[in-house]
Amino acid sequence: MAAGAAQQAYKRTQERPPQGAPKKQNMPEKKNGSLKEKLHDIPRAAGIAIMLVMLVLALFAGNFRALQNATPKDFIRQGDVKSIVEDRIDAAMNVASVADRLGLGEVQTLYNAAQALEEAKTAREISRADQQLTAAVSNFTAMELEGEDARSMMRAADGFAEMGSFLRQEARAYNEKAEKAEKLYDSLPTRFLLPQPDMYEGI
């Protein structure tokens, strides 16, 4: 009897956990996972949206670089354009001087048109300002004059016309390059976000 009771007591002691045994604790989860794990945790819809944004940005950057490479430099910096524009303005001022000296009418419109051409920068701006200046000059060069007055006006008008011919030559050369950029622009899917190539009008 005593042996049986001792054996049962021994079994009970073996089944009990040791008094000093540490209890199992839940291990803390890692706060910083790998990039792959973080991307895996992103909801599918958000992941698709991010990929679409990245695709659009890459497409825009590629289209922008392609258009930039195809677009010619600013018209005012082409060849002799800057000096031609300056000479054309000077010729227009000679017409204004003759007209003012002869009292042919109000020349302020001509001065305003010349100032607009001087301030123009792009091909489109220069072409429009030059058309206005041409119209203002023609108001005086078309007048019937005699003697030295007629010769003075003719010299001023000839200088203005010569510079206009040189300007149109530069404009045609520029537009040949700009037209290629225009065709590329029309074919780009992101063209609505890009600046349209500059063109010289009226030639």
Closest CA to 101 of 145, 132, 162, 66: 145
Per-residue confidence (pLDDT) for residue 122, from 0 to 100: 95
The 10s digit of each residue's pLDDT in 141-163 is: 988 889 998 999 999 999 999 99
The 10s digit of each residue's pLDDT in 57-102 is: 665 666 667 666 767 889 999 889 999 999 999 999 999 999 999 9
Q: Is 34 left (phi over 0), alpha (psi -120 to 50) or beta?
A: beta
Confidence of residue 5 (pLDDT cuts 50, 70, 90): low
- The alpha carbon of residue 103 and the mean position of all alpha carbons in its chain are separated, in whole angstroms, by 47
Query: Lowest mean pLDDT: which of 31-35, 41-45, 110-114, 121-125?
Result: 31-35
Tell me the C-alpha distance between 137 and 146, whole Å.
18
In terms of Cβ atoms closer than 10 Å to its own Cβ (0-12, 13-18, 19+), residue 74 is middle
Tell me the C-alpha distance between 160 and 92, whole Å.
6
**Which whole number is the average pLDDT over 182-190?**
81
Tell me the C-alpha distance between 124 and 136, whole Å.
19
Per-residue confidence (pLDDT) for residue 203, from 0 to 100: 83
DSSP-derived letter for residue 27 is P
Per-residue confidence (pLDDT) for residue 2, from 0 to 100: 46
**Which whole number is the average pLDDT over 107-126?**
95
**Which whole number is the average pLDDT over 165-176?**
95
- Global confidence as pTM: 0.67
